[in-house]
C-alpha cells in the first residue's frame, strides 16, 4: 500500500493506529517516516504534504479543532472581524497548546471516536456561542444550520450549557441564504417592523421582505457574480417594481463597512411608507 497516498486520501492526517488497522506493518510505517514519504506529528499522528495546518496544530496540541476554526474547516461562513487564530478543544487534563492557539477547556457535548481531530458540529456551536459577540455567533449558527442541514427544532432541543447558546438556539431559523442576510436581519429586528426571509415573489425568492412591499436584496461575494446572474437579478427587480414593490439592493461592502448609510436608506423608505401595501 502507498502509505502517503492512503493518508492523503483521508484528509492528509491520520492516527498511527488507523494505518496499522488497515494492515500496514509497523516496520513499513517506520520506514515510510524515515524516508520522508510521510511526516509525523508527536508520536501517533502521520501526515502527508496536503495535511491542513489547522488539523496538524490540533494533533500537535493533543486536542481537537474547535469553535470558529472547526466552523471554517467545515465551510461555514465566518463573519468579518473574526481573528485567524486556531481554536482547539482540550481535555480537562490536557496540556496547554502553543502560544497563539486558543484553548477551549471543556468536556464535549457529543462523544466522538478517539481519533477524530475535529469536534462535533454541536460542540462547535457551543464554543462559538461563548467565543463571539451575539451577532457574529448568530451568523455562524445560521450558516451551520444551512450547511449541515440542521432543523431548528433539533437545535432547540439540545441541552446547551450556556445561556447564550440557548438564546441562539431559540432565534436560529436556518432561513438565511448568506451571512450578510443574517447580519441585516439581526440589526433590523429591534425596529419593530415585520421582516420575512426568502419569500417567493414573481417566481424567485427575495432575501428580505420588510412589511408587505419593501424588498431588500443582498449581493455577497459568492452570489450574483456572473453576467448571467446579474441579468437575472435585474430582470427580477424590474418584475417586482412592476408589481408594486420597492426594491433596495445592498452589497457586501454596504453591509459590512457602511451600515449607517444602509440604516438611513431603510429608515427613509419606512418613513415614506414604502413597506406598506397601497
Same domain, 189 and 261: yes
Same domain, 70 and 165: yes
Same domain, 186 and 162: no
Same domain, 39 and 102: no
Mean pLDDT calculated for residue range 9-33: 94
* Residue 95 is assigned to a structural domain of this protein: yes
pLDDT tier at 228 (50, 70, 90 boundaries)? Answer: confident
End position of a domain, from candidates 171, 206, 234? 171
pTM of the shown model: 0.86
Task: Tell me which residue range forms the domain holding 28.
Answer: 3-51
Examine the pLDDT at 195 and tell me if it is beyond 60.
yes
* Residue 141 is assigned to a structural domain of this protein: yes
Same domain, 159 and 69: yes
Examine the pLDDT at 221 and tell me if it is beyond 60.
no
* Residue 80 is assigned to a structural domain of this protein: yes
* Residue 216 is assigned to a structural domain of this protein: yes
- pLDDT tens-digit map of 59-85: 999 999 999 999 999 999 999 889 889
* Residue 57 is assigned to a structural domain of this protein: no
Same domain, 110 and 21: no
**Residue with more model confidence, 118 or 99:** 118
CATH number at residue 185: 3.40.960.10
Q: How much is the pLDDT for 230?
A: 80
* Residue 72 is assigned to a structural domain of this protein: yes
Examine the pLDDT at 97 and tell me if it is beyond 90.
no
pLDDT tier at 144 (50, 70, 90 boundaries)? Answer: very high
Mean pLDDT calculated for residue range 80-104: 87
Q: How much is the pLDDT for 248?
A: 97
Scan for cell 496540541, then name that residue: 61
Q: How much is the pLDDT for 65?
A: 97
Examine the pLDDT at 222 and tell me if it is beyond 70.
no
Amino acid at each position: 500500500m502507498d502509505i502517503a497516498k492512503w493518508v492523503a486520501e483521508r484528509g492528509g492526517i491520520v492516527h498511527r493506529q488507523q494505518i496499522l488497522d488497515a494492515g500496514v506493518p509497523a516496520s513499513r510505517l517506520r520506514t515510510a517516516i524515515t524516508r520522508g514519504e510521510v511526516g509525523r506529528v508527536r508520536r501517533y499522528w502521520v501526515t502527508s504534504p496536503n495535511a491542513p495546518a489547522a488539523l496538524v496544530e490540533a494533533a500537535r496540541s493533543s486536542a481537537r479543532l474547535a469553535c470558529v476554526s472547526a466552523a471554517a474547516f467545515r465551510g461555514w461562513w465566518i463573519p468579518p472581524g473574526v481573528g485567524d487564530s486556531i481554536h482547539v478543544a482540550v481535555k480537562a487534563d490536557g496540556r496547554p497548546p502553543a502560544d497563539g492557539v486558543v484553548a477551549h477547556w471543556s468536556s464535549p457535548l457529543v462523544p466522538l471516536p478517539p481519533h477524530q481531530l475535529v469536534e462535533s458540529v454541536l460542540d462547535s456551536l457551543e464554543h462559538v456561542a461563548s467565543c463571539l459577540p451575539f451577532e457574529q455567533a448568530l451568523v455562524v449558527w445560521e450558516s451551520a444550520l444551512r450547511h449541515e442541514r440542521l432543523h431548528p427544532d433539533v437545535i432547540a432541543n439540545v441541552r446547551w450549557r450556556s445561556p447564550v447558546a440557548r438564546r441562539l438556539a431559540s432565534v436560529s431559523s436556518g432561513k438565511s441564504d448568506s451571512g450578510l442576510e443574517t447580519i441585516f436581519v439581526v440589526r433590523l429586528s429591534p425596529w419593530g417592523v415585520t421582516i420575512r426571509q426568502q419569500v417567493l415573489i414573481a417566481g424567485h425568492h427575495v432575501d428580505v421582505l420588510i412589511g408587505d412591499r419593501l424588498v431588500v436584496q443582498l449581493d455577497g461575494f459568492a452570489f450574483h457574480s456572473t453576467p448571467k446572474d446579474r441579468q437575472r437579478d435585474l430582470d427580477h427587480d424590474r418584475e417586482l417594481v412592476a408589481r408594486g414593490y420597492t426594491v433596495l439592493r445592498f452589497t457586501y461592502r454596504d453591509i459590512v463597512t457602511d451600515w449607517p448609510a444602509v440604516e438611513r436608506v431603510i429608515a427613509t423608505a419606512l418613513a415614506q411608507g414604502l413597506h406598506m401595501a397601497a
